[in-house]
Structure 1
Amino acid sequence: MWFEAMAVAASCFVAAFCAGMAGFAFVLVAAGILLHVVPPSVTAPVLVLGSLMAQSMSLPALWRHIEWPRMRFFVGMAVLGLPAGLLVLARGPAGAIVGGVGVLLVVYAGYMLARIALRMAPPEVAGSRAADGAIGFASGILGGIGGFVGALPAMWADIQGWPKDRARAFMQPFIVFMQAITTVGLAFAGFFTSEALVLTAAAVPALVLGTMLGLRAYVRLPAQGFRIILLVLLLVSGVSLLI
């Protein structure tokens, strides 16, 4: 149990630092470590609770930047997509869908990083309500399949060239709302065992420290530095979905 607790604390520290700095990727970063140490039935509640705590800690600083009408619509479409994701998880080609999203993230992030390296201007893409709805619905499907709710909103914010505060104010509230819904679902399904709760509690100090250090790094990051980190994490997220 001590080894598992230390592994959970270490993974939550690294994941919380990334989430504090970039606004997303807690689940994907932590899962890459935890799934090698802790059974998936225990990993799921630890990841969701850890993500919820890490994202909630930095949310008050972004409150004034949140576009509430857009956020309500986006979350609503994601909630509609959740049952579809759960259905795919139970009966459909969930692996193929997750793999397809992984390819999309790798291609997109690799292309954008190449443009930055070649000093090319980012493409100008204007969003729309219909596109918001499609991205929100697709994010809900991915949330139902495996809790991967942050990657597509992060890509959508980047492709529109939003400033870093606006991008975070779009990603983080969405992740918090979706993880809160997931937490309720896991609780009703009985996933919050004593082992999961003890491991999560043991990781809280590391999680808080990682989030605070990540937020401090975020404040000091220039806009271009934030975008590069966002794209690198998208690339890593895509690769992790393909493994």
Structure 2
Amino acid sequence: MSPDLLILSAGCFVAAFCSGVAGFAFVLVAAAILLHVLPPSTTAPVLVLGSLFVQALATPAVWRDIPWRRLGLLVAAATLGVPVGLLVLVHGPAPTIVAAVGVLLVVYAGFALLSIALRHAPARFDAGARADAAVGFLAGILGGIGGYVGALPAMWTDLQGMEKRAARALLQPFIVAMQAITTPGLALGGFFTAETLLMAASAVPAMLAGTWLGLRVYKVIPAQAFRVVLLGLLLVSGLSLVI
């Protein structure tokens, strides 16, 4: 196996493990590793296919808990946001927007981790449909800009104090739906070449292993530890968007 494929498999394993534990962040973690060694034109389709594959593998574990009406609203709003994100990517200050979101994630995750250290109980509230739609729309914009669909919904679930299973039951199918919507666009744009499909296929064993191990950890991890993992990934995700 070539060095590039070894790095690809290693990056996808780490990203799949993180996603298996927390229910999101495959794209952000894998991109932080792979974009240092592979060109974006190669990495983007591999990340989308990998995210779709990993999240689809893990979704059956929370199938019975999926809030279908709420999920449908998030997906619909995000789908409307994707074209806006694509327009921003082509004509607007996309790097500035992404960096601003990164700062938001860093500030929120840092504050929440500090609250945990100080033993402050997280707030718990039920958001309305309008707030969910706004979060979904903004997530769609970020998805159109760079495929970052999971970060804001993950922050939203933590902000509401959702239990770990309820958070995953919303996050994972949302990411699956959005990546399923993104995939045909990449295919029509000619991004799925024989090389990228071969690279994605070569990383499947690593993604399977990472997802399996991540789900094993998720099943035994306490709720507070799960929240620390989620916030830690939000912090890392935010930093990766800023740097």
Q: What TM-score results when the alignment is normalised by the length of structure 1?
A: 0.98
Q: Write out aligned runs for 1:202-241 (5 A).
A: 202-241=202-241
Query: 1:237, 1:208 → 2: CA distance?
Result: 22
| Residue in structure 1 matched with residue 171 of structure 2 by the alignment | 171
Query: 2:126, 2:170 → 1: CA distance?
Result: 16
Query: 1:190, 1:203 → 2: CA distance?
Result: 21
| Residue in structure 2 matched with residue 77 of structure 1 by the alignment | 77
- The answer for unaligned runs of 5 or more in structure 1 is none
- The answer for unaligned runs of 5 or more in structure 2 is none
Q: Write out aligned runs for 1:111-122 (5 A).
A: 111-122=111-122
Shift of 1:122: 1.4
Q: What TM-score results when the alignment is normalised by the length of structure 2?
A: 0.98
Superposed CA RMSD: 0.8
Deviates more, 1:124-133 or 1:87-96: 124-133
Query: 1:59, 1:131 → 2: CA distance?
Result: 24
Cα deviation, 1:29-59, whole Å, max 9, x if unaligned, reads 0001111111100000000011111000011
Aligned partner of residue 196 in structure 2, secondary structure: helix
Which amino acid in structure 1 is aligned with residue 145 of structure 2? I
Query: 1:76, 1:43 → 2: CA distance?
Result: 27
Aligned partner of residue 59 in structure 1, secondary structure: helix
Do the aligned residues in 1 keep the contact of 2:98 with 2:142 (CA within 8 Å)?
Answer: yes
Do the aligned residues in 1 keep the contact of 2:105 with 2:234 (CA within 8 Å)?
Answer: yes
Query: 1:226, 1:151 → 2: CA distance?
Result: 16
Cα deviation, 1:110-155, whole Å, max 9, x if unaligned, reads 0000000011121334311110010000000000000000000100
Cα deviation, 1:186-243, whole Å, max 9, x if unaligned, reads 0000001111111111111011000000000000011001000000000000000001
| Residue in structure 1 matched with residue 23 of structure 2 by the alignment | 23
Count of aligned pairs: 243
Query: 1:82, 1:68 → 2: CA distance?
Result: 21
Do the aligned residues in 1 keep the contact of 2:124 with 2:162 (CA within 8 Å)?
Answer: no
| Residue in structure 2 matched with residue 48 of structure 1 by the alignment | 48
Query: 2:125, 2:241 → 1: CA distance?
Result: 26
